[in-house]
């Protein structure tokens, strides 16, 4: 209880970078009860020279709890293996500060799931992921903001992100493996509270469905997709559909 803070003012970093051609170590940040998670310093789970990136899972189980990504989470490989995964889940808002970011550009996967709030990760320059999936369960009746906004500096695929965390809770709470899997983008709040905005700095590929149909009678959320270069593809081979049915 009480939340978790990596202090920005001092040296509250977490570094699990591999040594040699080995992967970065896994990180699990878990707030079991009341409070927020503030990542004010970097989490670095990079591969060593020739190694792949690690897995970083951040879970706030408080129904009103937030996750603030105010520094960069980096799961990049270093010349070998593959980039890792970043998985974020909170009861309320998942946001990003001016110095925040998520990094794993070549193969890195990002999942962000807010049960009762919004996902707002729009620090474009620091966001470099390859595949992403997003979800909010925020209802129309709650009148809360359940939007999804993500801006990436490079090419991006809206796809499937697996539950790859393996660490457990020391107190017997939820394990890292409970975060995921997730495919595409889903909101259910409808109207402006269920809108989706995705921007990519390269080819934007929609490989899994984007759906903003409200959970109860109402106007579907708007969907805005932009590629600043590279084009946009809704894949025919998979489920690259967009549905905003009211």
Q: What is the mean pLDDT of the segment spanning 165-171?
A: 97
Task: Please give the pLDDT value at position 52.
Answer: 95
Give the pLDDT confidence score for residue 149 in this predicted structure.
Answer: 98
Gap between the Cα atoms of 230 and 154, Å rounded: 10
Question: For position 84, what pLDDT does the model report?
Answer: 97
Check whether 122 has a pLDDT greater than 90: yes
Q: Share the mean pLDDT of the chain.
A: 95
Task: Tell me the average pLDDT across 208-218.
Answer: 93
pTM for the full predicted model? 0.97
What's the whole-number mean pLDDT along residues 94-118? Answer: 96
Report the 3 state secondary structure along the chain.
Answer: CCCEEECCCCCCCEECCCCCCCCCCCEEEEECCCCCEEECCCEECCCCCCCCCCEEEEEECCCCCCEEECCEEECCCCCCCCCCEEEEEECCCEEECCCCEEEEEEEEEEEEEECCCCEEECCHHHEEEEEEEEEECCCCCCCCCCCEEEECCCCEEECEECCCCCCCCCCCCCCHHHCCCEECEECCCCHHHHCEEEEECCCEEECCCEECCCCCCCCCCCEEEEECCCCEEECCCCCCCEECCC
- C-alpha distances in Å from residue 244, one per residue of 88, 144, 215: 25, 19, 12
- pLDDT category of residue 236 using cuts at 50, 70 and 90: confident
Calculate mean pLDDT across residues 147-171: 98
Chain segment 177-186, per-residue pLDDT in tens:
999 999 999 9
Q: Is the model's pLDDT at 160 over the cut of 90?
A: yes
What would the pLDDT profile of 24-69 be if each residue is shown by its tens digit?
999 999 999 999 999 999 999 999 999 999 999 999 999 999 999 9
At residue 131, what are phi and psi to the nearest 5 degrees? Answer: -135, 140
- In which residue are the tokens 């690690």 written? 54
pLDDT of 216 > 90? The answer is no
Residue 73: burial class (beta carbons within 10 Å; 0-12, 13-18, 19+): buried
* Tokens 């070998």 found at: 80
Answer with the residue of higher pLDDT: 216 or 227: 227
Q: State residue 65's pLDDT score.
A: 97
Given this model, what pLDDT does residue 24 score?
96
Beta-carbon-side half-sphere exposure of residue 29 (alpha carbons within 13 Å): 29
Residues 43, 186: Cα–Cα separation, whole Å: 27
Q: What is the pLDDT of residues 132-153, one digit of tens each?
A: 999 999 987 787 899 999 999 9
State the residue for tokens 């909010």.
136
């Amino acid at each position: 209880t009480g939340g978790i803070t990596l202090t920005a003012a001092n040296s509250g970093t977490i570094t699990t970078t591999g040594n040699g051609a080995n992967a970065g170590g896994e990180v699990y940040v878990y707030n079991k009860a009341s409070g927020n998670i503030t990542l004010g310093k970097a989490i670095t789970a990079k591969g060593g020279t020739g190694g792949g990136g690690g897995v970083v899972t951040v879970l706030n189980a408080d129904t009103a709890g937030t996750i603030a990504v105010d520094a960069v989470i980096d799961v990049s490989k270093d010349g070998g293996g593959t980039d890792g995964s970043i998985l974020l889940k909170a009861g309320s808002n998942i946001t990003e500060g001016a110095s925040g970011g998520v990094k794993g550009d070549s193969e890195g996967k990002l999942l962000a799931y807010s049960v009762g709030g919004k996902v707002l990760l729009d620090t474009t320059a620091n966001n470099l992921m390859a595949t992403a999936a997003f979800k909010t369960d925020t209802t129309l009746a709650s009148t809360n903001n359940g939007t999804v906004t993500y801006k990436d500096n490079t090419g991006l695929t809206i796809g499937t992100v697996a539950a790859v965390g393996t660490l457990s809770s020391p107190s017997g709470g939820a394990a890292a493996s409970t975060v995921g899997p997730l495919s595409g983008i889903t909101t259910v709040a409808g109207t402006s509270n269920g809108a989706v905005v995705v921007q990519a700095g390269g080819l934007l590929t929609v490989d899994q469905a984007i759906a903003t149909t409200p959970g109860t009678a109402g106007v579907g959320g708007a969907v805005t997709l932009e590629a600043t270069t590279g084009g946009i593809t809704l894949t025919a081979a998979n489920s690259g559909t967009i549905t905003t049915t009211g």
